[in-house]
Structure formats: structure tokens, C-alpha cells
Structure 1
């Protein structure tokens, strides 16, 4: 059979059947990155100017919304605007987009137990609030972008009609220059989880955004979609930008200037959760793989060396040791054994859309085939489930301040249930954690309530209550610093420890 996996990149102003490709992997822009961390990147399409938020703490000073400086990167000198992040104290500021005359930016303030978001326009040293009817953001973080023609803002916020937490909204400029109310972009894009850092391409149709609600390589992955009509609620199926750009960390703030050979984004890899500004080169030419594949899809480790370079290879390994694992691949009703831990995917498998990978004694994984794999080797690392192992449940999330599970959490919990059914001797201890903000006693109570909600769901699926125990720790066992929101959110987690195997 012949491979029909084709990489398309027709232009940087994308059309609905185009697919982005990159050369190599992302590289850090060292001249911009600092130990404080960078987030919410925006590029000025009119001149060499770039803006981002830097986590630097401190109390807010209303006279200092941002500060400017000159930096050289990519062999050019850029005018850089740096916004302060005060989230650890009172709120945050972040850029949205540029016009030829100034910059739109957002600010979030915290007052009397509530977060309040606003949009401002700054020009010639003066800032004025942008009037948006019925504007309401309840989240501590607000991000967005401005279309190049200045007619549309795409905002990420949690409002009264959000599907979960932060959703994407469009705000349209009226003919008289005022702004209309924010309109939710709909369920085809927004999930029960977070959709953040949107970027609208110059065609006003192609939208890039980061989300932790669609699976992928890590906590936040970058996706793109194409608007199908003028309603702003009909979108093509979001496509993951792939493993060349998305990692096991968090990738956000994808942006580029139309016609440029480089795209920029933010990647958080370090244990403290701070972001670095990265760049990656677009791959412009169209390529097609036409080499013959082996007649059998199942390939042992011995024959992998004979596979041509442009095939999609899955290496299934132990996350702790890196050793290859005997496993099963499940495509709907099709179950394929992989005794040597190596499998080559041809295009015939793409019709299944999703694959589950299982190995005895390991927590299964399930992910979409579309956009999550690269040509060449893709390492799939499975968590071992044996006594003493602690496994974080990355996508088990709750409504803010409550023990109510978000709907998207059930997919990962179902994998835990599956593991317990496959390993009837295993017992687990669920652990709930919060950050250190607020009343410590209430934090313990909230973490215990959330553990109880997870336990109840697992037991409701038929698992014996004697195999599942739980404990809430509040903010007493942080993994990271609690000084900024970016790191505090990493401490808000549910995990389980294998206590008997």
C-alpha cells in the first residue's frame, strides 16, 4: 500500500483544507526571556514591535501599565512593550493588539472577592477604557487579540454564558467606531475547560488558540480552526499544531506576521511553570510521501530501521525507565497487539480518529490521531501503576471554588476505572490539593470535597469502595511556588497513589 499522509501549506493565510507544517522544533528567543517568565505574546503587524506580559509581582501602579524598550532578536531590533503581571497581588495586565495609532490591552483587578476584567486603548501616553456593552469576565486571567484591520477582538474570558471556564468570544466594531457586545464563538471551539490566547490571522477566518480541553501533547496545546461563515459560530474541526510545536508542557500565544518565515509562541517547560518566548520556522513547500510501506502494519523493533524516514512511528515506553512495552492499540473495535512496543501507522488508521494504548500494569492513554503525531518517531510514555507510584490526573478539573466536576474530566477518570478493572488487586489513594490562597481550613475542606466527588464517580462505575480511599491536603503539599497564578494553578491538582498492588 502507499502512504497518503500529505503535508500541506499553501500560504500563511490559510484556507480550510490547508495544514500547517514546521521545520525542526521550537527554539528559545534568548534575548527576550528572563527568569521571571513571559506570557500573552502579541506581535505588531505594522512595525517591528512586540508586546508580552512578564511575571514580576509587586503591587500595581496605575501610572505604569507597561514599559518600553529596544531588544535585538532574529537579527533585527524590535521595540518591545512589557506588561506587568500583578496576579499575585491585585490583578494582571496583558496586550491584545496594535493599530497604527496605539495598542489595545486588558487588565484584570481583584476586589471584594471577585475578579473584574476591562479593555483599554493606549495612545500617546494616555489610556481610555473601551466600552463593551454587558462586558463581564469572572476569571483571574484575560487574554485576546485584535484583527489586523482593527474590526474584531477575540477575547478569552469566563462570562455568564461560558461553557466551562475561559471561553473564546468575538467583539465586533460597529460602523461608528464603537464596539458591540461580546459573542461566544460556540461549542465547536469552546469546551468545558480553558480556551485562551487567541490569534486571528490576517484573513479574519483562521483562528489559533490554546486549550487544555482537547487532549494532545501536554497541559495546553496549540490548535487552529477556520471560520465557515459570517455567524462566527461555525468552525472547522480544530487541528492540533503537532508535536514539533506542542510538548508535554504548556504552549500558548501562537502569533506571526503574514508572510514571515517565523512563528512565535510561549512554552512553559520548567518546573516553576514560567513561560519562555519561542520561535519556529514555517515549512512552505508541499511534500508528499509515496514510498511503499511494508505489507504488514505490525513491525518489530528489529525492522524499524528499515522503515522510511517519513512514516509515523509509535514507540510505547515506560515513563520511568524508557524501556519498550508490550502493548495493545485499540481503534474502536479493532484491537492490535504490539509485542515489541513499536508500531507504524499508515494513513488507513486515520479513519478511526482516536486510539487507546494499553499495557498490563500501566495507566492507559487515549488521544486523537489528528494533529497529535509527527512524521518519524513519536514516544508514548505510560505511567506504571505499582505500589508507591503517584500519578497526577491532568484533566480532572472542577468549577471554580466548588467540588463539581467539569464534564470533560470524565474521560480521564474512565481510564482510571479501566485500569482498576484490568488490575483487580490494585488499591488507590486519591489526593486532593489546592494552592495556599484563602482560608487554610476551607482549602482542606474543598480539597476533601473534590476527592469525594472523584471517588463517588469511580465507585459509581462499579469499582469496590474498599479499593478507593481519599484525603484532602488543602495547600499543605505544594509542588511549586505559590507566588504567581501560573505556579499556583499547578498546585491545584488531583492525583492518586497506588497503595496496594
Structure 2
């Protein structure tokens, strides 16, 4: 191989300090609140306008209005409650206001991003490659400098339901594809209504996956590097903001002493706009880009230029003969290695006889070089956790999308007709132990019924709820407690 020069870009950062303190409890902004529900609040850092969604009943062709209330300029997005889908503002950049729009088409939700200059102009769709949202809701924000959008949506590679994604603006003004912000922020539950501070590092968001005062609490976290996947441990904003209700849509304007958010606590509708006095100390983004030139000589290995999927046993790491299915196209590789020629955004199923299949998305989350795909064996005695089979808090009602992983269980049982499984339901140890066992048994029953309804014989599926009696992690913190809330299946006969 000929000698060449490789340029590495190294990011150097001093680090960002973020401290947020509140001087009082939140109070309602009476001039903005109505008996309709107010949601998805965002602020204009230039003209200091405010935009939010208002939930109403009825049908109308108009969904964006401009109003002036007590001297405050308002951009109002009307979300008709009896119409499938929703709209929500993302934020302001240059002369544009960006917003989300979710529609229901042939039984499938479709999330998109639009922008418009005013309520009187026809919106333009913003091209975000590989944007795919399976949820009926979509929220987001845009950075003050217009370089980043943070979107909350349920895509193919979420950790649970709605996750947070970053979308970066390219030098030519177009947008890159969404990248998941990683497990440091995202949980198996919902992360919604992000707000990125002026440092482009400090991120506020609401979640129901980290415990707290109520259903949704507002947290903040600081980005640790330029991967957008390494974040500090999220910090709860505390009881001056968060209540036993649901708090979302936190945001503020530079130099203002007030922060705004939405709360369902004691609201007239589904949510009221609140404000709270606060102080923040956030350093500027001091990240610098340094070019490092390294000479590549004849002895250096050639850098990989292809995307490869390598299918292995999750325990031994042994390469497996495998099949990849994309749409109607099937490929078989005895060495378990698949070369990906193009990132189409389609789903690919990887399977090997005697293993639980895995589904991934062929998008830019995949790295150049080898991407390891681990498959779990379904040999007798194997215990497999169903990470994406999730339930609404305190109920046996499965969250939409859980059936995706259960369908893989059904598939592996059809492919291996002698397999019998024992479903195991687990909770953490908080609350009444008896009720925890009852809840875990109810959840197992829901899962069992789903599998049987897909044509699997009931004689092949049994189940038991264990409550909090079999933890796999500490119950001392919410971060580890959530690992104990799980559904597993054990192969009892193969």
C-alpha cells in the first residue's frame, strides 16, 4: 500500500459547568392559560416570542395562529384532539419557526419536521434523512445558533419508547440523519420535550423513566464530549419545579430571570404554562478543533471502508452461520459476516438456528468496519431478558411497540417447534411486596396471551410472577432499580 497522510480531528474541551438553582416555586402564567391544555412550549431567543401547542376539540383547516396577549407575541399551534396525529413547535432559527407534525397514514404514524416564516405562509417540509417515528407524538428543540435539532421520537433503535436524538446541520444548510443520544440519557420509558441551553451542551428534558416527584419530571444533563452520546448523570430539577403531576417543556431566554415550563398539577386543562425564578451558571462552549497529521507508511494496516455485520453468540463470542432478511431479500453467510453496500434506513433481521433473532436498522448508527450483532441461544436452561417489552407504569398494559420483540419470540418458537418456555415477571422492591407479585403475574399473563394469540400452543408457554424477590441489580438507586423491572423467558425444553 502506498504511503499517505491521514488527518485526525481531535476535540479539546476545558469542560462545562452547569448549575441551576431556583429562588421560588413555579407560578401559573394566567394570561396564557385557558381551560384548553397547553403543551410543548418553546421560546424565541431573538424576538422573545413564545410558542406552544393548545389542545382543543373540533375541526379546522388552520393550525397556526399569531396572537398578542398583554403585549406578549404568541405563536399558537392548535392540536385538534379528535384528529389523529399532532403538531408541536420545535423552535426559532433565523426567520423560521420549526415544528413537528405527526400524521396517521394507513394505520401507521409518520413523523416529520416543517418550517414556516409566519402563520399566513404555507409550511415547507424539512428533509431529515432516515427520520422515522412510530409514536403518535414528537417533540423537540433547536439550538440558539441553529446548528442542532434535538428530537424526541420512537424510532427503530430506541432504548424504549420515545428517545432523544440529535440532528446536525451540515455546512451546506441541509440536515444530517438523527443520532440517538445514548443510554446515559435515554431509558426504556419516555424522554420528551428537550431544551438545549446556549452552550450547546446543557440539555433539559422530561422523562418518566427516572423516578422523581411525579409521572414526568424535568432533569438536566451536560454533554461530556463531541460524540453526543456521553452525558453526565441527569439531575432532577427538584420540588420547586417538579410535582406529583407531569412537568415538561422547560426553557428560558438568555439574561431572563424567569424560566418557563408546562405542568399538569392543578391545571385547568391537560397542562398550564408556569414560570419560576432561577439562576443558571453555564460556561460557554470552549471546544476547539485541532488537526493532527499522521504519516501512514507501508506497514500500517489499511483503514476499513466497508460496513460489516458480524453475527456472534452473545455468551461465547463465537461466530455463527446466519441469515439476514431485508424486506423480501434473504442472504445466508456461513461465516456470519455481512457486507452492507448502502444505508437504506430499512430494518434487517439477523437470525441463526437455535438463537433468538435480532432486528437492526441499516442507517448511519452503523460504524465503518465490524458491527457485532449478538444473538442469544435458546438452548434448554437459557434465560433471556426481553429488554423492549415494556409496560405503562403500575399496570399490565404493554407500551406500544413491545410486540416487536415478542414477535421474535414467536418466530423462534415456530422455527424450533419443540421449545417450551417459562415467562418470568419481575419488579423492583419498592411498594407493597404482595402487590408487586400480583403486578408481575398480571404482566406475565399479558405477555403469555399475546404469544398464544399469535398461534403458539398454550401448552408450550407457562408463566410466573416473582415481584421483587429476584433482583439482578441494586435497589438503592433508580438507575439500577430499573434493571430489576423486567420480563424474561427461560427455555425449559428444547
Residue number in structure 1 paired with 2:82: 88
Q: 1:25 aligns to what SS in structure 2?
A: coil
Residue number in structure 2 paired with 1:102: 96
Residue number in structure 2 paired with 1:475: none
Over residues 287-318 of structure 1, what are the superposed CA-to-partner deviations in whole Å (9 max), with x where a residue is unaligned?
xxxxxxxxxxxxxxxxxxxxxxxxxxxxxxxx
- Alignment partner of 2:465 out of 454, 458, 468: 458
Tell me the distance in 2 between the aligned counterparts of 1:25 and 1:180: 39
Residue number in structure 1 paired with 2:190: 194
Q: CA 1:457/1:214 → structure 2, altered by over 3 Å: closer, same or farther?
A: farther
Over residues 145-194 of structure 1, what are the superposed CA-to-partner deviations in whole Å (9 max), with x where a residue is unaligned?
00010110000000011111100000000000000000000010000000
Residue number in structure 2 paired with 1:357: none
Q: CA 1:71/1:233 → structure 2, altered by over 3 Å: closer, same or farther?
A: same
Q: CA 1:212/1:429 → structure 2, altered by over 3 Å: closer, same or farther?
A: closer
Tell me the distance in 1 between the aligned counterparts of 2:79 and 2:199: 31
- Alignment partner of 2:116 out of 112, 122, 125: 122
Q: 1:24 aligns to what SS in structure 2?
A: coil
Q: CA 1:86/1:236 → structure 2, altered by over 3 Å: closer, same or farther?
A: same
- Alignment partner of 1:215 out of 211, 216, 230: 211
Tell me the distance in 1 between the aligned counterparts of 2:154 and 2:228: 18
TM-superposed deviation, 1:114:
1.0
Gaps of 5+ in 1: 1-14, 286-391, 433-441, 450-454, 464-501
Residue number in structure 2 paired with 1:66: 64
Q: CA 1:174/1:284 → structure 2, altered by over 3 Å: closer, same or farther?
A: closer
1:325-404 aligned at under 5 Å gives the runs 394=394, 398-400=398-400, 402=402
Residue number in structure 2 paired with 1:203: 199
Q: CA 1:198/1:137 → structure 2, altered by over 3 Å: closer, same or farther?
A: same
TM-superposed deviation, 1:19:
2.6
Q: CA 1:18/1:180 → structure 2, altered by over 3 Å: closer, same or farther?
A: closer
RMSD: 3.5
* Contact kept? 1:397, 1:405, Cα under 8 Å: no
TM-superposed deviation, 1:401:
6.0
- TM-score for the superposition, normalised by structure 1: 0.57
- Alignment partner of 1:274 out of 257, 270, 279: 270
1:248 aligns with 2:244: yes
TM-superposed deviation, 1:393:
5.0
- What number of residue pairs does the alignment pair up? 316
TM-superposed deviation, 1:129:
0.2
1:415 aligns with 2:440: no
- TM-score for the superposition, normalised by structure 2: 0.58
Gaps of 5+ in 2: 1-14, 282-391, 407-423, 454-461, 471-494
Residue number in structure 2 paired with 1:28: 28
